[in-house]
A = this chain, B = another copy of it.
Amino acid sequence: MSERTLDQLDTPSALIDEARMARNIRRMQARMDALAVGFRPHVKTTKCPAVARLQREAGARGITVSTLKEAQQFFADGFDDILYAVALAPHKAEQACALMRRGCRLQVVVDSVDAAQALIAADRRPDSSRRAGVLIEVDVDGHRGGVAPDSPLLIQLGRLLHDSGVSLLGVMAHAGSSYDLNNPDALQRLAELERDRAVHAAQRLRDAALPCPVVSIGSTPTALSAVRLDGVTEVRAGVYVFFDLVMAGVGVCRNDDIALSVLTTVIGHHLEQGRAIVDAGWMAMSRDRGTERQPVDQGYGLVCDEGGTVIDGLLLSGANQEHGIVTHRDSTFAVDIAARLPIGTRLRILPNHACATGAQHASYHVARGARVIAEWPRFNGW
């Protein structure tokens, strides 16, 4: 593809601001290095090998995925150290073990006897040249799944897996409730809770004479808020690579750190209501309204000029499938909306949730200033 400029792109298009993404990658890796832990980025945010390679070049060790399709695609792209961080469905055990037999160092996660037994059964096939690697998911904040750190089930699972010849690697936890916080003290306390409970679960396994070399924790907010990670061996985080308005609301980035946006064109006005209509609706932005429960509701996104500078007060306040509605918090702007945002004007929208918005697009266009230096494919599906 010959190089293009932003004004040559069709709209809507997903844009990566290259400089911001590079800064976000450096910031997280520097923090993990300072805390002396390994960093395993979650690639579900981008599903884009080109981005993951930059994370690896910056120092990441291994990747985290949310689907077996991600594991397969990234393995095909040269990534062979992969943590599949969703509790294994029993019917997927065979597919996961098949990937291991092909040489992928895939780690899977269980939090139930049923899943452990399915994994053991799949792992026992005679052509297995290696044992499956497994982590036990530990619940640290009641957010999702996982076994309680103090539960008998933790030891029961550990013993069942280890005695069956599966390679028990350790524990993993994810403090997903960190997305609901918005002050540094609370984030720091949750980061410490995530660390403490995961390390406690690991110690219980070791006290039961079970192996537990890995203690894997993390979320973007807790990774950026932790002040010590004693006993933790690796941290996972995904959305930090782009950041988004939800993360700005949580307080772990600023709006001008957000590296993902959607380029759009003004296609109409509703003069009586002081609105502009753009060609980025929910199909381009996703239906994610993650800032709705935060102190500042950003609608479907904050509106920037084509260069990426926020236009104060301008919001994507509504979205149909292919229509976005742009309004201003200040009604004096609305009076001459057609003069301020004429038809054909190009804008960028900063999204609520980078993982959800990225998933609406088949590729990212990489912007270096006004130049589009690359188009990077991404994928979806299971």
> B44, A322: Cβ atoms under 8 Å?
yes
Interface flags for A28-40 (1: CB within 8 Å of B; 0: not) read 0000000000000
Q: What is the CB-to-nearest-CB distance from A323 to chain B, in angstroms, rounded to a whole number?
A: 6
Q: How many residues of A contact B (CB 8 A)?
A: 59
- With A145-B277, A273-B142, A282-B356 given, is the CB distance from A382 to B10 under 8 Å? yes
Which of chain B's residues has its CB closest to A7's CB?
B91
> B287, A356: Cβ atoms under 8 Å?
yes
Q: Does A255 reach chain B (CB closer than 8 Å)?
A: no
| Chain B binder among A109-117, A125-133, A159-167, A327-335 | A109-117
Contacts of A343 in B (CB 8 A): 89-90, 112, 114-115
> A267, B323: Cβ atoms under 8 Å?
no
| Chain B binder among A97-105, A200-208, A228-236, A359-367 | A359-367
Contacts of A355 in B (CB 8 A): 321
Q: Does A213 reach chain B (CB closer than 8 Å)?
A: no
Q: Does A307 reach chain B (CB closer than 8 Å)?
A: no
Contacts of A380 in B (CB 8 A): 283, 360, 362
Which of chain B's residues has its CB closest to A13's CB?
B382
In the complex, A320 Cα to B67 Cα: how many Å? 13
Interface flags for A1-45 (1: CB within 8 Å of B; 0: not) read 000000000111100000000000000000000000000000010
Q: What is the CB-to-nearest-CB distance from A113 to chain B, in angstroms, rounded to a whole number?
A: 9
Q: Does A193 reach chain B (CB closer than 8 Å)?
A: no
Contacts of A381 in B (CB 8 A): 361-362
> B114, A342: Cβ atoms under 8 Å?
yes
| Extra inter-chain contacts (12) besides given A90-B265, A139-B270, CB under 8 Å | A44-B322, A86-B279, A91-B265, A111-B268, A114-B343, A114-B344, A115-B343, A148-B272, A282-B288, A286-B287, A362-B380, A362-B381
A-B contact pairs, 9 of them (CB 8 A): A11-B89, A12-B382, A87-B267, A87-B277, A89-B344, A91-B344, A112-B268, A144-B325, A148-B272
Which residues of A pack against B, CB within 8 Å?
10-13, 44, 66-67, 86-92, 111-112, 114-115, 139, 142, 144-146, 148, 176, 265, 267-270, 272-273, 277, 279, 282-284, 286-289, 320-323, 325, 342-344, 353, 355-356, 359-362, 380-382
